[in-house]
Structure 1
Amino acid sequence: MIQEKMQITAIRGIADQIIEMKLKGTLSNQVTEPGQFVHIKPSGTAQNGTALLRRPISICYTNKEKQELTLIFRRAGIGTEQIAANQPGDKLDVLGPLGHGFPVEAVAPGGSAVLIGGGVGVPPLYGLSQALTARGVTVTHLLGFRSAKDVFYEEAFAALGTTYIFTEDGSRGRQGLVTEPLGELSFDAAYACGPLPMLRAVQQLIVDKPLFLSLEERMGCGIGACLACVVHTINPEDKKGYRRVCCDGPVFRAGEVELC
């Protein structure tokens, strides 16, 4: 983990309120697992003049030859608005890479995996899919969005493996939930990232295969000191009784922590 002023090389809107940003710096060389994240300091202050906390943003994928990270996030408040207002050439104060990501070694070369994502839980699955396909794993993507205006990276995912798009209103792809095809698919392991209701549904449906879940929680420090992102463990014999999403996660094996 390092703190670095990373330069924005590109920034654009790719869906409704969804921003894709590319950052250049040596921090990109330290990313070791898909599913890790960075903590970005907004450049301004809150309306009362106080400093804003850093914002955790998942790493979509890395290009280590260019020393570049690609991030995708939703403009959803003053912090992300300030980050999205930057232009190419501007620099951002970035802390990372943080957390433990998805274990690609859970699927042997020649095996198969299903990746399940919802909304802004979709971006880290792209880097995961890249890593799995490079390993010789066949991937299937189940990606859920609210409507057609919210869909992004459909063609990028399709270039890596079979991709199904689901929207709540049926305006793009299939109308329904990303969990609907799970009973029809054959796979060796599953990975999911998205809202808690989706993760709970996935965990209920996949009980006989390795399943890894990436949690989205509000964070303070991002390094495990403030305990703002604590989740409780399920095993009653666990003496600690909790995990910190920022440093023990954000990826956990299904059944390790409570999804509430």
Structure 2
Amino acid sequence: MMKQELMTIMEHSTVAKDTYMLVIQGESVAPPIDPGQFVHVLVSRDFFLRRPLSIADVNFANGTLTLLYKELGKGTQALSLKQVGETLDVLGPGGQGFPVESLNIEKALLVGGGIGVPPLYYLAKQLTDKGVAVESVLGFQTKEDVFYEEHFRALGEVRVMTNDGSRGDKGFVTDGLPEGEEAFDMYFSCGPAVMLKAVSDQLASYPGYISIEERMGCGIGACFACVVPADSGKGYKKICRDGPVFRPEEVIL
């Protein structure tokens, strides 16, 4: 159930080019919160729409959520100026996350692109806690955009891809995917739609889940602003309510 709360900023720092880590604390941080879910943040009364931010980590003992976001416009620019000790109006957690508890796998492949990387970190932690081996392929534009590489390395194998080759290997995430029929049991991917389509096409022989990045309006499935065509060709899926996590065969990218 989504809850609305004024949450306190405990930490706010830069982790890469135009990319920030925001740690907020509140009484509503309690189980269950699934990897892949998001919170809808009201930056200020100057902005009509809330900003959806993926949950990168959760600490139930401290009552904190870690959010990673990129400065992409006036709203996130204003958010980047918020200071420790200030409060934010937060609605969440929202959406459908990755079904970690129902999985029966031994090895998982995580594929993230840019700001699609954050929810995969919380997922990686949850999977390793269940004894699942995790391998990650993380894609960024340049070395200045890379973040959380060491966090992922602490949990398993990592391959970093950059468009210009300035960090890790040169190419897109699809260029860094492992090969072989038994390389992993299931894949999980988050990033822009064009990346998700390329990943799901290349890994079509494997079962998997994708998490779609999309701007949202209401965040609760009422406004129809964030939709994706259903694979049946009839109707649409609401990313904020039916997703953002889907099986690739459920939607048309």
Aligned residues: 250
**Alignment-mate amino acid for residue 96 of structure 1:** G
Distance (Å, rounded) in 1 between the aligned partners of 2:31 and 2:89? 16
1:69 aligned onto 2:44:
no
Distance (Å, rounded) in 1 between the aligned partners of 2:63 and 2:250? 34
Deviations 1:201-257 (A, max 9, x none): 111111222110100111110000001011110124x5xx21100010000001111
Identity of aligned residues (%): 48
**Alignment-mate amino acid for residue 15 of structure 2:** I
8 Å CA contact retained: 2:6, 2:88: yes
Q: Which runs of 4+ in 1 moved over 3 A?
A: none
1:199 aligned onto 2:196:
yes
Report the RMSD for the aligned CA atoms in angstroms: 1.3
8 Å CA contact retained: 1:31, 1:97: no
Q: Structure 1 stretches of 5 or more lacking a match?
A: 46-50
Deviations 1:135-179 (A, max 9, x none): 000000000000000000010000000000000011000011111
Distance (Å, rounded) in 1 between the aligned partners of 2:222 and 2:174? 35
Q: Structure 2 stretches of 5 or more lacking a match?
A: none
User: Which of 169, 185, 189 pairs up with 2:186?
Assistant: 189
Give the match for residue 134 of structure 1: 129
**Alignment-mate amino acid for residue 55 of structure 1:** R
8 Å CA contact retained: 2:107, 2:134: yes
* TM-score w.r.t. length of structure 1: 0.93
Q: How does 1:67-146 map to 2 (within 5 A)?
A: 67-105=63-101, 107-108=103-104, 111-146=106-141
**Alignment-mate amino acid for residue 140 of structure 1:** E
8 Å CA contact retained: 1:42, 1:52: no
Secondary structure in structure 2 of the residue aligned to 1:124? helix
Secondary structure in structure 1 of the residue aligned to 2:144? helix
Rate the CA distance shift 1:192–1:61 in 2: closer, same or farther, 3 A. same
1:211 aligned onto 2:205:
no
Give the match for residue 36 of structure 1: 37
Give the match for residue 245 of structure 1: 239
Distance (Å, rounded) in 2 between the aligned partners of 1:183 and 1:53? 40
8 Å CA contact retained: 1:219, 1:246: yes
Deviations 1:119-138 (A, max 9, x none): 00000000000000000000
Give the match for residue 11 of structure 1: 12
**Alignment-mate amino acid for residue 196 of structure 2:** L
* Deviation, structure 1 residue 182: 2.7
* TM-score w.r.t. length of structure 2: 0.95
Secondary structure in structure 2 of the residue aligned to 1:28? coil
Distance (Å, rounded) in 2 between the aligned partners of 1:91 and 1:181? 40
User: Which of 218, 222, 228 pairs up with 1:221?
Assistant: 218
User: Which of 154, 162, 173 pairs up with 2:168?
Assistant: 173
8 Å CA contact retained: 2:161, 2:176: no
**Alignment-mate amino acid for residue 81 of structure 1:** Q
8 Å CA contact retained: 2:159, 2:176: no
Rate the CA distance shift 1:93–1:101 in 2: closer, same or farther, 3 A. same
Name whichever of 243-252 and 23-32 sits farther off.
23-32
**Alignment-mate amino acid for residue 18 of structure 1:** T
Distance (Å, rounded) in 1 between the aligned partners of 2:166 and 2:45? 37
